Amino acid sequence: MNSHGYARLPTAQIPIDHYSAVHLAATRAREAAVHCGLAGALPDKAAAVASELASNLDKHATDGIVYVQPLALDAGLEIIAVDRGPGMERLDRCLADGFTTTGTLGTGLGAVKRVASAFVVRTQVPGGTVAAARITAADQAPPRPGAGAVCLPADGEQECGDGCAVFDTDAGRTAVVVDGLGHGGEAARAARGALRTFRGVCDRPLAEIMNALHRALRHTRGAAVGLLRLRPEAAEFCGVGNVRLCVLSRDAAHRRLDGRPGIVGWNLPTPHVRSAPVTPHQVVVMHSDGIEGRWSHDPSPFLLRLPAELLPAALAHRYRRSRDDASALSLTGLR
């Protein structure tokens, strides 16, 4: 097998509801950078990036949140800032190094762009802004575009019963979203077991992967599972339980596919693989029911135009069910 990817840890979520949260975001980013294997000055750079993004939310935005997590496809760290407005009138000016609207000595988003290995931002007035700074080691290739994810525990829980991962294999770019039944420690154990198994079998046909996950989860409480294999021109989907796949273009949500009734690890139906056409300009998103499914019935133009790197965080910010674990993973169509 020739696979490249990164099995994810849960996303850290820091609501920026007070200036003290800026320091917390910086601390979480530094800790996560060390956990992701970033050495030397990179943890401090990650902390500076998180501090700048969080400070901007505190000064300018409404309902701002910072997400800190491993990258979806590469070894490295991602820091995402998302808010509900007011948006940036002149994004080009805001991205200039040293630009500030408050008269402070802050170095602004331009410095974030300079420090990060990759920086993606989209804004809408008055809808809000989503920005993702990605940090990888200096001797590493730039992080690959076209993939994004979040994986959030239910409010009040330390462990996350959802999980997701994506790997590039000889069979195609292959992803999984797992939703362990319920939430808390037992759900997290089921999700971790599914991810460990998926890593070893992700190059197999989707039906075989689903059967392997079913065997691996027999002594757990079970899970809902969605499997996605992205190839040029098409996406294959095999789902069991409350996991949904949707194909987005810049104008509309197209194909929506739901998992079949059942529980992986308990009562697995015969795995059924369905296919949907996908162009290189479309985005495929797969998510657990911790993200409300209503978003895909009439998505806003802003959501439809978000790149895969930003879409999961935007969905979680707007449509997450906070009493449940929530995960979403998105991939851009392959060329």
Q: Where are the alpha helices (DSSP H) in 36-146?
A: 42-60, 91-94, 108-115
How confident is the model at residue 105, as a pLDDT? Answer: 31
116-140, pLDDT tens digit by residue? 999 999 999 999 999 999 999 989 9
- pTM beyond 0.95: the answer is no
32-77, pLDDT tens digit by residue? 999 999 999 999 999 999 999 999 999 999 999 999 999 999 999 9
Tokens describing residue 238 = 């095999």
Q: What number is the average pLDDT over the span 175-191?
A: 96
How confident is the model at residue 202, as a pLDDT? Answer: 97
297-332, pLDDT tens digit by residue? 999 999 999 999 999 999 999 999 999 999 999 999
For residue 29, give the 3-state DSSP assignment: helix
Tell me how far the alpha carbon of residue 74 is from its chain's centroid.
Answer: 13
* Mean predicted lDDT score pLDDT of the chain: 92
99-111, pLDDT tens digit by residue? 454 433 335 788 8
How confident is the model at residue 101, as a pLDDT? Answer: 47
d(CA 202, CA 48): 36
Count CA atoms within 13 Å of residue 18 on its CB side: 2
d(CA 108, CA 104): 10
